[in-house]
Structure 1
């Protein structure tokens, strides 16, 4: 390949990288209101009381509002603009992650991957997979670390909805508040469970994809779908780490949602995990369309009713 062709190829890759990032910005912006509602659910805030309903099998239950009803409630309180609270720091974190991933790929020389050979031996395939997995783990871990401060800011901006605070009203103001309240470590609140969940999901998805494609699927066309399916499955299994990470991002932050009676002041993410596990709350927010209340309840006249600490909070 001539020098001119190399430059043209590099220019094309650069354009594709930034066009993909622009597409991600559009997608993230469009889906942000739903992500906002999901974060509030994950940290345990339920502003709309559950109503008596029945499960698919006809058993009495308490049904919580779906994600669309939750978004509608946020809009009714803060208006349309309020639906995009926390979008700016989230996009900053995404930009920094993209740059970090690109630089890491350059450092590890991941630009040109070898094409899969038709008659690839098991040893060659295994070595190739291990090399790819190591590179993915390094790159992914780096992107999580560099984006965590912006993730914390985003979650705390969203969490202000509960107590109607205004502590985190801008990027630089939020940086000052986090440093004042929690010091440097405050910018990395919830980092360990977030990284642990992402890394375990990556390892699980990669291992399952390799095993299935190598030993169970022969059709090349079907192998394309294995990775996406395994990524979805592994993300669902590791979902509790997301809940714990976002709870750790707001606990003892000076916000109403991060303090008793809404939430205990957790000293570690393990303590948070054990507490949520005891309350059967590790999967909250995993289902966004059909949601059932799983907290303490009492049955009166054949109808289940929730037992709550606050009129707008379900423990």
Structure 2
């Protein structure tokens, strides 16, 4: 269970990556049915301003002793350096040894690597740092193509927004799909993205003054039981089909068909967790139409059949 979250800050901290952790875990969303988190921002020098990578300052109110009973210890991105504070590395090792979950965002993986916590383990980081990471930590099993890697009690994410994906995945894993979806909707982000970060390596996401597709995405989620075609979605977005398809991949990392299929699986997960509906009815309510299609896509995305998932995660009375 995720109750206490400790975020470790160091000099040259990246504000966006820190902000991702604060947005997911640091805000009170109990009015939306999200359980409260005890969110602690920690450093080796509590109360002392630290420089950020964007030439501003932040202050961590708490010391590293808060890591001693944290359920999750998170390390946001910071500028790469030859050596990290041994006090931080030792606190991370102790947290891992007692079974805490460790999560890094972007270049925060270098800190976990320096602590020896990624030796022999699958992990990822921002695609720009992959070669350097491999030189520094040759025994780590670096995967440069994914948005995040879940290796049990250690989760690493790729650059920037992939930290959101990793955090929501962890919430979903520990607290269920409904809680993750509520947080995602408040953040106005997809509750789960498909695809990896390879799409950004050679052709970065283009800058565009057009409005976000989020209203269309929200409408698709609210209307999962109807057929969604690119021509119809492009008309709703008031774009040409070609522009819509390009923008959709840029914002979601995948195609409209794959994206809506993933959202249907997420809806099915929620219904499996929270209702006693039969598989045929869940297939209809989630937009798959037939139990056979639901089973096919659910197993492909989640890794287990719907019935097995329900036995493990059902919370309905």
Question: Could you say whether these structures have the same fold, taking a TM-score greater than 0.5 normalized by the shorter chain as the test?
Answer: no
Q: Greater helix percent: which structure?
A: 1
**The structure with more radius of gyration:** 1
Q: Greater strand percent: which structure?
A: 2
TM (norm. structure 2) is: 0.29
